[in-house]
Amino acid sequence: MSSNSRTSTPLRVAVVVASTREGRFAPVVTRWLTGHLDQRDDMTTDVVDLAETPLPTVFPAFGQPPAPGTEEALALVSPRLAAADAFLFVTPEYNHSFPASLKNAVDWHNTQWHGKPIGFVSYGGLSGGLRAVEQLRLVMAELNATTIRNTVSFHNAFGAFGEDGAVDDPAVDTAAKALLDQLAWWAHALREARTRTPYAA
């Protein structure tokens, strides 16, 4: 495959929706984000909603087979993460960190994250979920992923969106473009690197 064809092939971006809480605000933020992704011809989107694809919370003992139903649950998530060239995590902040549902999904996987970029869209109260993002950077570095510097954070998120799901502040849409541009740069570079040489953790 030539360098030009690698660049012209759309990037496969998995949007991982972290919150599984009843009455969650995540769908509003996710629809806004996928709206931006839909405007780009260099990316295709796969929304991996952890509320719709719940994973077991009990891990098997080392060397032992997983509990019944585990492989079926993972089959709804793992191949989609493996196929992704890049990730976007949509996450709220719980107790200065990120939801247990997201940590669980991260921990069920390993090689799926290797050598791939991850961007963050967070939301919450005054902090806008930024403390969740800072903790995620530490976790994903351990899994050999590259986290994108730019983020989008919604402070006092419930008041940031209109009834139509649009954001009133144009600076947020500008921030989204900057995030996706950075994600695209890293995704193309790392995809080409993985094509040349399989990632060695």
C-beta of residue 53 within 8 angstroms of C-beta of residue 124: no
Q: Which domain holds residue 14?
A: 3-55+71-196
pLDDT number for residue 71: 96
Residue 192, in any domain of the structure: yes
pLDDT at 5: 44
Contact 170, 135 (CB under 8 A): no
pLDDT, one tens digit per residue, over 87-104 is 999 999 999 999 999 999
Residue 131 maps to a domain: yes
Q: What is the pLDDT of residue 7?
A: 61
The CA distances from residue 4 to 115, 142, 189, in Å, are 21, 32, 12
Examine residue 66 and state whether it is found in any structural domain, yes or no: no
Does residue 36 fall inside a structural domain? yes
Q: Is residue 45 in some structural domain? A: yes
Q: In this structure, is residue 63 part of a structural domain?
A: no
pLDDT given at position 8? 78
Q: Which residues of the chain have pLDDT under 70?
A: 1-7
Q: For the domain that residue 45 is a member of, what is the CATH number?
A: 3.40.50.360
- pTM for the model: 0.94
**Count of domains forming the chain:** 1
Residue 126 covered by a domain:
yes
For 64, 121, 137, 139, 194, the CA distances from 97, given in Å and listed in that order, are 31, 14, 11, 11, 31
